[in-house]
């Protein structure tokens, strides 16, 4: 069954790098991805779709214009109508940077920033609905919004996407939810999600990302990948030319913040839940 994404759910990630082939070699070595160019032969450009077990997980494209800053991972939010959603962005205090425009037959997109300056992208799916494998080793786990102002961020994203921000129990932090998303998953690709997450904080099945209030960095969306072993993945990343910026542990995860060889930052996360058996 094809995984689909309701309006307001984060659905896809990609990174634009000066040397896409080198980036592909790095991430293939780290996560075991297979990369295939979605751009037809003879057509200018490249867009490398990463797959695990034949399922789409992410993409790598060309980028890195002078003065544009270091490469980054981009987070896309599913929308029913990219044009209509983009039209609402300025009135809520955000900016439409480019688009909306067609991204080939895959869908329609627009690049935006929120009022605090965090870039994000809209995705109206056509042929490509979004990531088909998530929360598995080597695949996308979550995207987290790093923002200096939680209330101002929610005043923008809440009306635009229908999000709620929730202080999760059991030290799970602040999570972003699309009400009913867990029921959508249960009715489509993940029929056992509610039973499997019975130990998790209430409402966790509706979570589509996290929110961290940070004062010492520009607002941005940060991408997290699932790994089996944080330390092994960090060591592999270093061997492939990445930099380990820091490691951390909390009640649920063991993480490492990494910078890839061309400068894009991301986190690898090992699920390490507390012993809930008493």
Q: What is the pLDDT of residues 29-51, one digit of tens each?
A: 999 999 999 998 988 889 999 99
Q: How many CB atoms lie within 10 A of CB 137?
A: 17
Q: How far apart are CA 60 and CA 23, in angstroms?
A: 7
The pLDDT, as a whole number, for residue 276 is 47
Look at phi and psi of residue 122 and say left if phi exceeds 0, alpha if psi is from -120 to 50, else beta. beta
Q: Specify if 1 maps to a domain.
A: no
**Cβ distance 28 to 21 under 8 Å?**
no
Q: What is the pLDDT of residues 177-211, one digit of tens each?
A: 999 999 999 999 999 999 988 877 888 899 999 99
Q: Specify if 180 maps to a domain.
A: yes
Q: Specify if 224 maps to a domain.
A: yes
Q: In which domain, by residue range, is 155 found?
A: 10-271
Q: What is the pLDDT of residues 253-265, one digit of tens each?
A: 999 999 999 999 9
pLDDT at 84 > cutoff 70? yes
Q: How far apart are CA 50 and CA 73, in angstroms?
A: 14
Q: Specify if 151 maps to a domain.
A: yes
Q: How far apart are CA 247 and CA 251, in angstroms?
A: 14
Number of folded domains that form the chain: 1
CATH number at residue 172: 3.10.180.10
* Angle, helix 20-31 to helix 230-239, in steps of 10 degrees: 150
> Phi then psi for 6, rounded to 5 degrees?
-65, 165
pTM listed for this prediction: 0.95
Average pLDDT, the chain: 94
Which has more confidence, 168 or 105? Answer: 105
Q: What is the pLDDT of residues 122-144, one digit of tens each?
A: 999 999 999 999 999 999 999 99
Concatenated DSSP letters for 94-130? -EEEEEEEE-TTSEEEEEEE-TT--EEEEEEESS--S
């Amino acid at each position: 069954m094809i995984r689909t994404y309701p309006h307001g759910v984060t659905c896809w990630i990609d990174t634009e790098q000066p040397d896409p082939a080198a980036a592909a070699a790095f991430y293939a070595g780290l996560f075991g991805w297979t990369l295939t160019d979605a751009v037809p032969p003879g057509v200018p450009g490249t867009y490398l779709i990463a797959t695990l077990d034949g399922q789409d997980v992410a993409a790598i494209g060309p980028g890195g214009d002078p003065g544009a800053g270091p490469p980054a991972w981009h987070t896309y939010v599913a929308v029913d109508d990219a044009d209509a959603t983009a039209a609402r962005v300025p009135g809520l205090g955000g900016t439409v940077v480019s688009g909306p425009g067609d991204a080939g037959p895959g869908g329609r997109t627009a690049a935006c920033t929120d009022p605090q300056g965090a870039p994000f992208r809209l995705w109206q799916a056509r042929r490509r609905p979004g990531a088909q494998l998530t929360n598995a080793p080597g695949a996308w786990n979550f995207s987290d919004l790093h923002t200096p102002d939680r209330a101002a961020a929610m005043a923008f994203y809440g009306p635009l996407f229908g999000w709620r921000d929730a202080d999760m129990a059991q030290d799970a932090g602040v999570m972003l939810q699309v009400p009913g998303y867990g029921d959508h998953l249960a009715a489509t690709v993940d029929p056992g999600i509610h039973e499997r997450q019975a130990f998790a904080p209430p409402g966790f099945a509706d979570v589509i990302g996290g929110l961290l209030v940070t004062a010492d960095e520009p607002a941005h969306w940060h991408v997290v990948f699932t790994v089996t072993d944080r330390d092994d993945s960090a060591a592999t990343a270093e061997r492939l030319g990445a930099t380990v910026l820091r490691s951390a542990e909390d009640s649920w995860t063991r993480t490492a913040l990494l910078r890839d060889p061309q400068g894009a930052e991301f986190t690898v996360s090992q699920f390490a839940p507390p012993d809930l058996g008493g």
